Chain A
Amino acid sequence: MSTNLADPTRLATPPTFQAVSLSRRIKNGFATTLVWGAFLIAIIPLVWVLYTVIQRGFPVILDGDWWQKSLSGLLARQQGGGAYHAIYGTLVQGLVCGIISVPIGIMIAIYLVEYGGRSKLAKATTFMVDILTGVPSIVAALFVYTVWITYAGMGRSAFAVSIALVLLMVPVVVRTTEEMLKIVPDELREASYALGIPKWKTIVKIVIPTALSGILTGIMLALARVMGETAPVLVLAAYAPFINYNLFSGPMASLPLMMVNERNNPTQAGFERLWGAAITLVLIITLFNLLATVISRVLAPKTK
């Protein structure tokens, strides 16, 4: 090795990374192409779906009547009316499901993280939640139909739908809450105990507020998911073209059910209602996801 003193920029020791060999560059190019290709394959259907829904549905939801009226008293081929009845149904069924499943889910998660430890009951609970996560929505719907309608003799109603949705929502809430509680640092709990504060108060005042933003985000995402479920509404609630505020009896529409119903309507009016309901559902779920982001920003624990 001859040293070239005329080159002052030359390093004393050669850099670790020398020129990249051809074979490595080829591998790199190949992998880059694959990754980008996979990305494009994933993005194409998404953009396509959004484009179709927006192109066909957007003109429909611009009409003010869409947000204020039902389809009551309209023939299949008659234009007009709106989706208020279905929007109401979707939101209320989701809300009631949330009111029932959020406390249950959070309490299960608190038990698992704070009290259960490695006990047999905790293990069994985790196992059950795992199984419940894998239950398809149609199975949950048929289960509720059997228990609530056939055995208990209750009628088909929006409340039955909410119960089926609870079965789908609880495991999601348990899972996200559990993860959030686990990442609360033990030092916070220990500091609280050191001040002589009882365990329950520590959980309520220290652990939950710290994890709250993550928990709420999880709840919002779970809600957004169950509101788009079609199987429970198909099995457990009959469609009604009018507004039914009563949760416990009578048929009640919801956006997925309205779409199923209008799919059998071959007229132009049916086509418009179908896509209008589709974009409305997408919008509502987007809104919930946005709300989840906002809430997690607002409630995030201050680090300073």
Chain B
Amino acid sequence: MKIQRHGAVLGLVAASALLLGACGSDNNTGAGGNNTPAASDVACGGKTKLNAEGSSAQKNAIDAFVQAYKAACPSADLAYNPSGSGAGVKNFNAGQVDFGGSDSALKAGAEVEAATKRCQGNPAWNLPLVFGPVAIGYKVSGVDSLVLDAKTTAAIFSGAVKKWNDPAIKALNGSANLPDKDIAVIYRSDESGTTDNFQKYLTTAGGWTKGDGKQFKGGVGEGKEKSAGVAQAVGSIDGAITYVEWSFAQDNKLSIAKIDSGAGAVELNAESAGKAIDGAKVKGEGNDLVLDLNSIYGTKTAGAYPLLLATYEIVCSKGYDADTAKAVKAFLTVAATTGQAQLADAGYVPLPKAFQEKLLTAVKAIA
């Protein structure tokens, strides 16, 4: 009968629905997922699936934090959408995500007001959790070690210094055998927080007068798409120089220039970058840890690497429901402690001790 045949089709649909309902698994430990030790003092619990969105610069760091978070709190998880700082702030303020990630702190005025409203009338805090150093990567055959200062760097990236054996570079590299070769400047052609920070650094420390912003304003050289693009370009051109996130410079085996801020040449490594973070001044009030970037860029401390990209997590000080607050606190605690272990591999700087404590104090105060 026809009715029976209809029944057969319904049965088929039901069977496929059952198949769909068969259990999938979030457990990826076998695939080399979790290799961080579990933290002991994390208060797990609350909302099991956190939702965050924002800066793509901290995506890989958040991935590492999530791994540590899952190791510490097995039933917990977090989704981070790297849709950009602007989208992160917007969706945090609209209450769509539990916290936002941003390359810059909330701007006074409309952004801060909207964030306060989202947090039920409580202030939102900017917590600088992820620091990524920017490397000045170059490739000149025969030159393995190069020292630059902010002023010379500004001159190179604005086209005032055109040759590798320019007296300004020679003065900083006494013994190096610099060739008579044109400098090929490579810059990011897309909008980028890296470009913004690099130009701010040059403005603060090197007398750069072209202005900052997410577009490169030096007016020389050749633009390439994304970090991978600029790093690959420098790797294939003899005499090229660029600014790029540390991990990309490492992956493409670029030589990395040392930076002399007045107290001797400083190599880029976790320790020297950590020193710059330690010396950073906080201009926010209380637990709102907005950094005074000028204190990093303009640092004169011996052994501190000044060219850092700081990214914030934007969280509510109060005004979460209890479940969300508990989970956000647990995640941030793990991120600031055990999550730091894998950061150097991903091209970020682990937090120095003193700064870590500042952050943990703020995280504990979230209610």
In the complex, A271 has a CB within 8 A of chain B: no
Contact indicator per residue, chain A 270-293, by CB within 8 Å of chain B (1) or not (0): 000000000000000000000100
Closest CB in chain A relative to B163 CB, distance in Å: 33
Is the Cβ of B6 less than 8 Å from the Cβ of A72?
no
Of B53-61, B102-110, B201-209, the segment with at least 4 beta carbons within 8 Å of chain A is B53-61
In the complex, A76 has a CB within 8 A of chain B: yes
Say which residue of A74, A78, A250 sits within 8 Å of B51 (CB atoms): A250
Is the Cβ of B79 less than 8 Å from the Cβ of A264?
no
Contact indicator per residue, chain B 224-236, by CB within 8 Å of chain A (1) or not (0): 0000100000000
In the complex, B34 has a CB within 8 A of chain A: yes
Is the Cβ of A75 less than 8 Å from the Cβ of B346?
yes
In the complex, B139 has a CB within 8 A of chain A: no
In the complex, A146 has a CB within 8 A of chain B: no
Is the Cβ of B24 less than 8 Å from the Cβ of A68?
yes
Give Cα A251 to B81, complex, Å: 10
Give Cα A235 to B187, complex, Å: 31
Q: Tell me the nearest residue of chain A to B77, going by C-beta.
A: A242
Within 8 A of B (CB), among A215-271: 216, 238-244, 250-251, 261, 264, 266
Given contacts A241-B79, A242-B49, contact A212 B31 (CB under 8 A): no
Give Cα A73 to B66, complex, Å: 6
In the complex, B280 has a CB within 8 A of chain A: no
Given contacts A81-B31, A238-B96, contact A72 B77 (CB under 8 A): yes
Say which residue of A73, A81, A84, A95 sits within 8 Å of B67 (CB atoms): A73
Given contacts A91-B20, A251-B81, A299-B5, contact A71 B25 (CB under 8 A): no
Contact indicator per residue, chain A 48-81, by CB within 8 Å of chain B (1) or not (0): 0000000000000000010011111111101111
Interface SS of B by simple majority: helix
With most chain A CB atoms within 10 A of its CB, the pick from B51, B67, B82 is: B51
Is the Cβ of A73 less than 8 Å from the Cβ of B26?
yes
Say which residue of A76, A84, A251, A298 sits within 8 Å of B63 (CB atoms): A76
Give Cα A88 to B8, complex, Å: 24
Is the Cβ of A78 less than 8 Å from the Cβ of B31?
yes
Chain B residues within an 8 Å CB radius of A82: 24
Give Cα A65 to B31, complex, Å: 10
16 extra A-B contacts, CB within 8 A, seeds A76-B60, A95-B17, A298-B5: A72-B70, A73-B29, A74-B33, A75-B60, A78-B32, A80-B30, A80-B32, A80-B33, A84-B24, A88-B20, A216-B9, A240-B79, A242-B77, A261-B81, A264-B56, A264-B82
Partner-A contacts on B (CB < 8 A): 2, 5-6, 8-9, 12, 17, 20, 24-34, 49, 51, 53, 56, 59-60, 63-64, 66-67, 70, 77, 79, 81-82, 95-97, 228, 342, 346
Q: Identify the 3 closest CB pairs spanning chains A and B, nearest first.
A: A80-B31, A84-B24, A240-B79
